[in-house]
Amino acid sequence: MNKYLFSSLTPAIIGISASITLIAPASVMALEQREILRRATEFTVMIDGREEGSGVIIKRDGNTYTVLTNRHVVDSLDVNFSQLTGTYKVITPDGETYTIDDNKIKHLEGYDLATIEFNSNRNYTVAIPSTENAELTDNVHIFGFPKIFSDFNERSAYIEGATVIRVGTQGFDGYNILFDKRPPAGTSGGPLLDENGFLLGIHGLGDTQEGIPIDANNQRYTGGAIPIKSYLEQTNTFATPQNPKLPDDPLSVGQRKAQEGDYRGAISYFDQALQANPNNLYAYYFRGEAFYYLKDYRSAINSFNQVLRLDSNNVSGYLYRGLVYYNLKEYEKAIADYNQAINLNPNYADGYANRGKTYFQQNKYDQALESFNQAISLNPNNAEFYNDRGLTYRNLQKYNEAIADYNQAINLNPNYADAYSHRGVTYNKLEQYQRAISDYNRAIEINPNSSLYFYNRGISYFKLEEYQRGISDCNRAIEINDNWGNDILLDSAYLNRGSGYYELEEYQRAISDLTRAVELNPNNALAYYNRGKAYKDSGNRQNALSDFRQAARLYQQQGDTERYERAMNQIRELEN
């Protein structure tokens, strides 16, 4: 998956020294959720590695930052713990990535809490703990960076309001705050915030840890958090675990199998978890993910149906089932699921973005644009949102607006190869071919194994009548396509290369390539037309007539009057 850049927000550095006590104002007006979202993005980080999770910058001491997260996010270490390094990485709000020294990961015994450290001379905001304890019926806010299980999306910020429904003192693994929403996977370790944006606690996976209910007597809750005071009161007791071992419950083993790419093996373990507990929502959720990667979309839908049976308000369940419907090209069902996700959480940017992508596939560009505008207003630091809106503007022939969006995507992520490629296509539309080639060069530098980038650069060279360079790029596109999979319309690559050979008067090579294009796509009218020209100029009148007649028939069926007349003129010329 792509990794994720966020614009740097103006930092407010708090707690430079570990000895500073942070005091939250006693009476502050409740903030709008969008303002809480903005503040939370300043001190919340993404954690990537064997697990994906979130974390809170809780302390700064010189250039050393401490991140508080869940133990289960960073405890999947091998037994030879002392030899490991770089198992986990922290991605900060400005998009920087820091490798974590695994030997400095510390756990708090009896709690699902851990601290990790990274060093940086940059200024990052430190979260402010709340001075108040959570109470029943309090309105709280869940924040983090959900896991996205396909390469369709970047991971982006998630915020959702919830209500505290139980406060205890002896919750399993320290989960003493229970609330009525279920945070999506990937947000574990993220902050639970009060109405003023102060840190109440660290929330975890939800209603179970290692298969043990947090609260066996009350099943109304769906999520839990560990109060921040558990960290503040026991900061000095966090310690590096001795001889840590991987958890061996079926759900954990299944997740590790999935991370290794063994999705069928993962499914077998998720099935074991479901045999032990037929209502294990997370087993259904992760099983749906594994089926998705296997492209067994119907089985994925069945699993997500079970997620929604168990929790009809599960935002991620609707979002990801919509993604599966999208891949099945069942766009109306996908949109219905995205609408439901948005209704449940109007501040979930991914819901709007995925809906926009679906409208785009339906050629409903105005509706797509509206959805992308919403996504960007909620999360203006997601490069993919700008790239997708740029594609929409391009299809609306608003090329300047498209280029502005690609520029912003590249500003947020200078290594976003697709954004360079898409901007190049737009420059082609504007007949600015040298600029297009410059963008394709950069895209190819970032990802030299994309046949599409070579294919598009070849078009620019052909437009500049640099036929040898265009042919060379078609050669590379076809070679990569054969080796790496079909990310171009292969018939078009042969058509373009054949057309280039025609311009160089290498008619037999042109005919060979154009014949291959016709074999791959018998409805490619331009391939017949261009092969007709090659036959005509090489003196084969009969084959030329046959190809022009076929081209004319296809153009007539397609309603392309101009090209139909062009083909008919060739026929008349040969028949006279």
Residue 34 or residue 402, greater confidence: 402
Model confidence band, residue 18 (pLDDT cutoffs 50, 70, 90): very low
* Tokens standing for residue 501: 């050979």
Contact status, residue 506 vs residue 534, Cβ threshold 8 Å: no
Distance separating the N- and C-terminal Cα atoms of the chain: 60
Coil/strand/helix, residue 458: helix
Strand boundaries in 287-417, DSSP class E:
none
pLDDT exceeds cutoff 70 at 220: no
- Rounded distance, CA 63 to CA 42, Å? 17
pLDDT digits (tens, 9 = 90+) for 127-139: 999 988 888 888 9
- Rounded distance, CA 333 to CA 331, Å? 5
- Rounded distance, CA 268 to CA 257, Å? 10
Could you give phi then psi for residue 499, rounded to 5 degrees? -65, -35
Q: What is the CATH number of domain 33-237?
A: 2.40.10.120
Residues of the chain with CATH 1.25.40.10: 489-576
- 348-374 average pLDDT score: 95
Supply the pLDDT for residue 153.
53
What is the helix (H) or strand (E) element at residue 526, kind and residue range?
helix 525-537
pLDDT exceeds cutoff 80 at 92: yes
21 DSSP assignment: P
Residues of the chain with CATH 2.40.10.120: 33-237
Ramachandran bin of 232, using left for φ above 0, alpha for ψ from -120 to 50, beta for the remaining angles? alpha
pLDDT digits (tens, 9 = 90+) for 152-198: 456 788 888 889 988 887 777 889 998 888 788 889 999 999 999 99
Tokens 């601290």 appear where? Answer: 115
Supply the pLDDT for residue 16.
26
- Rounded distance, CA 506 to CA 245, Å? 66
pLDDT exceeds cutoff 60 at 347: yes
Domain 489-576: what homologous superfamily? Tetratricopeptide repeat domain (1.25.40.10)
Closest listed residue to residue 200, CA positions, set 225, 233, 236: 225
Could you give phi then psi for residue 146, rounded to 5 degrees? -60, 150
Q: Which of 45-59, 66-80, 368-382, 503-517 has the lowest mean pLDDT?
A: 66-80
**469 CB-contact burial (10 Å; exposed 0-12 / middle 13-18 / buried 19+):** middle
- Rounded distance, CA 426 to CA 402, Å? 8
List residues bridging with 88 in a β-sheet.
49
| % of the chain surpassing 70 pLDDT | 87
Task: Kindly report the average pLDDT of the chain as a whole number.
Answer: 86
pLDDT exceeds cutoff 50 at 430: yes
Q: Which of 76-85, 317-326, 509-518 has the lowest mean pLDDT?
A: 76-85
Model confidence band, residue 19 (pLDDT cutoffs 50, 70, 90): very low
Supply the pLDDT for residue 37.
87
Q: Which residues of 180-211 are buried (b: 16+ CB within 10 A; e: fewer)?
A: bbbbbbbbbbbbbbbbbbbbbbbbbbbbbbeb
